[in-house]
Amino acid sequence: MQKQTWTVKDILIWTSNFFNEKDIDAPRITSELLLGKALGLTRINLYLNYDRPLSETELKLYKSYINRRISGEPTQYITGTQEFWSLNFRVTPDVLIPRSDTETLVEAVVNDIRASGRKDVSILEIGTGSGIISVAIAHELKGGAKVKITAVDISENALKIAKENATYNTVDDRIEFILSDKFENINGDEKFDYILSNPPYIAKEYYDQLEAKVKDFEPKLALYGGEDGLSFYTGFFCDADKRLTDGGKIYLEIDFRKKDALEGLLDKQKYSNINYHKDLAGHERVLGLTKGR
């Protein structure tokens, strides 16, 4: 019997239906992203090559991607890329998959810097992961304020990915990457105008309820915030105060369900202008603070 010849159009239709039966999110888009990866084509070029037949080698590779996806592996780890702030980023299981909620933090910082009229700005990002926050800010402010960013992470593998993303998005000259646990390896005399972080903040009760594709594949180190979700913040606000310039600011992505607990930690700290920035779902996703009462 003659083997079936699969064209781009045919295989996309079949895979979309298969993913739909398996309850895979966004079955059509997922099919296109995985096929594009297998063929080395953009999603637009898939449509321009609808009648193109797949070779046996391409078909075998694509089937391997399908199997990985239905086993629970996120699409982004299979393709190795994810868009954030209209930029492309490389991602691996060593880093979190960028999420649109984090764009709330980037937007808040960029707007603050522009509104301040500052010409020179120093930024420290703690727990940079794939580098999306620092890279997006540096890229957005090109041609504007002179920005010097120090981005730290406890993971050498994450820093490697972050450096690649900075180079790919042509902002590597504006960001210094340092292996450090919070402030540990930062020059003792150095202070910053902004300290930013999207820290691990998911409490045990919520971590246990995460989807398998998150809990089983994304790095726990970047997600789990301890029993109460507040481990990162222990001592953080006091240490950050010493590292901020006068009137310096902190921006943190947070779990909106822990807002009251976070404010409790701030009761005895010397910060003012406590404010929140909402994500697209209307949740208070980013906490902003200013040094000094």
Provide the CATH number for the domain around residue 141.
Answer: 3.40.50.150
1 inside domain: no
251 inside domain: yes
32 & 146 share domain: no
88 & 214 share domain: yes
The SS3 assignment for 184 reads coil
Please give the pLDDT value at position 267. 83
Specify which residues 291 forms β-bridges with. Answer: 271
Query: Which helix (H) or strand (E) covers residue 33, if one does?
Result: helix 27-39
Q: How confident is the model at residue 93 (pLDDT cuts 50, 70, 90)?
A: very high
Q: Cα 190 to chain center, whole Å? A: 26
67 & 104 share domain: no
Please give the pLDDT value at position 176. 97
180 inside domain: yes
76 inside domain: no
209 & 260 share domain: yes
Please give the pLDDT value at position 2. 45
Please give the pLDDT value at position 3. 65
202 & 96 share domain: yes
112 inside domain: yes
Please give the pLDDT value at position 21. 96
Distance CA 164, CA 262 (A): 34
159 & 50 share domain: no
What is the residue range of 67's domain?
Answer: 8-71
16 inside domain: yes
Distance CA 281, CA 83 (A): 19
192 & 241 share domain: yes
240 inside domain: yes
145 & 231 share domain: yes
Average pLDDT over residues 286-290: 96
**Tokens describing residue 17:** 């239906």
Of 71, 99, 119, the last residue of a domain is 71
**Number of compact structural domains in the chain:** 2
Of 37, 71, 105, the last residue of a domain is 71
17 & 156 share domain: no
282 & 160 share domain: yes
Residue 16: C-alpha distances to residues 6, 12, 26, 224 (Å): 14, 6, 9, 33
Average pLDDT over residues 103-120: 94
pLDDT tens per residue across span 233-268: 888 999 999 999 999 999 999 999 999 999 888 887
pLDDT tens per residue across span 29-74: 999 999 999 999 999 999 999 999 999 999 999 999 999 999 999 9
22 & 145 share domain: no
pTM: 0.93
